[in-house]
Structure 1
């Protein structure tokens, strides 16, 4: 596995998209600071990073796997790899830990940009109702984002193997990210008799970031915090298994 990780890390760092994506995150967070005067919301959302991180990882993840097919390197991988699953898993691990790195970058930038754009107007230990301090909520939001990124990475890998067009995968993933939770809520409200089953639909897992810091979202997801976390891990595992099966069988 270590050898597979080294190989995939070498491929990953040779790409320009991860670097450009990191710079884009920095610029987008600065842009959020310049265009919003609500210091509390800026800090809670890590200057918009919570919104932008999944989008960035969708683009980077699907492009990383799609690269193997665009440049036909998957042929060598297919026939020279002693364990194809380890190679596929290594790709997922590399992209996910890139996401972890972006979350840490977002946390650092939030601290720095707070001093530039918010100053002492809002303090880290200011309390918000019964949700805790701004610092606590911000950290939990970023933790929820880490969970959500696991869901996103495995899903984007699976989708690129189904759709086979990178731009389409990004579009589908963005649609799921922005409208999935609303669609899930509509389904649950429409088919109330099936709420017990429908609450476990994959679109409902998108709410994990918001729900961990706002208990009101339990009324929308109909899942407790432990249940929605289990759901995220469960679907990530399912997407991993399905993605690998597609990867193994896709013609090269």
Structure 2
């Protein structure tokens, strides 16, 4: 699998889109900073200017080129023939997307620091100030980034699954974008509609998308999710494994 991973990383590194699109993340972060104002300086720093959503959207766009576009145009076929196994191809693509996700989160933190060196759109912050969970602000930023990395890995597993089930790049992007923007609201609707016991319905996969937002705004989102941070974390990890295994199952049985 090392050879396949090296090949996937090489392809990702030599594509212009994955790196140019990071400028979109910077633009989004600046817009969020301007929209929220200087009153929420600490919260903006903790959440890296609410970069979670844009990172997920970037993963959907780039991830679709890694998976579904290769299915759509048949370029996956020579990869499988040259590889020792389908599992090597699949997990090389998954690891590549995860590493790109990690890079995006590091970039978001770096951009956050840069935006606060000269606080034009944000009020100056004291990085050692105690903020959420009785932790320094800088620790809050690292912890929130780690939590969001787990949430975005759930999205990656969904990208893998939908890409292995649907060959159309456009459809894969549309479905996952809808999940990102509407998943949390859909979970809330299911709980409010009382379609089943809330103790069971609250464990639906869409509810796990609340993990990051609940971590930095527990009082508001705990009422909506009906789960604790630890429960959301457990559910997110479990669903990530389940979706990833289903994606591999679909990939291994896919006809090319």
Same fold (TM over 0.5): yes
Partner SS, residue 212 of structure 1:
helix
Partner SS, residue 216 of structure 2:
coil
| Runs of 4+ deviating beyond 6 Å | none
Cα distance, 1:215 vs structure 2: 2.9
Q: Which residue of 1 aligns with 2:4?
A: 4
Q: Which residue of 2 aligns with 1:152?
A: 155
Decide whether the 8 Å contact of 1:84 with 1:248 is kept in 2: yes
CA distance in 2, matches of 1:158, 1:143: 23
CA distance in 2, matches of 1:172, 1:72: 22
What CA RMSD, in Å, does the superposition of the two structures yield over aligned residues?
2.2
- Higher alpha-carbon deviation: 112-121 or 140-149: 112-121
Partner SS, residue 67 of structure 2:
helix
Decide whether the 8 Å contact of 1:61 with 1:153 is kept in 2: yes
CA distance in 2, matches of 1:239, 1:163: 15
1:29 is aligned to 2:29: yes
Q: Deviations over 1:144-189 (max 9, x none)?
A: 2100111011101211222322222222212111111111012112
Decide whether the 8 Å contact of 1:131 with 1:213 is kept in 2: no
Partner SS, residue 28 of structure 2:
helix
Count of equivalent residues: 252
Partner SS, residue 93 of structure 1:
helix
- TM-score by structure 1 length? 0.89
Cα distance, 1:35 vs structure 2: 5.1
CA distance in 1, matches of 2:160, 2:64: 6
Decide whether the 8 Å contact of 1:140 with 1:212 is kept in 2: no
Decide whether the 8 Å contact of 1:131 with 1:137 is kept in 2: no
CA distance in 1, matches of 2:50, 2:200: 33
1:163 is aligned to 2:166: yes
Q: Which residue of 1 aligns with 2:255?
A: 251
Cα distance, 1:47 vs structure 2: 2.2
* Structure 2 unmatched runs, 5+: none
Partner SS, residue 197 of structure 2:
helix
Q: Which residue of 1 aligns with 2:183?
A: 180
Q: Which residue of 2 aligns with 1:19?
A: 19
* Structure 1 unmatched runs, 5+: none
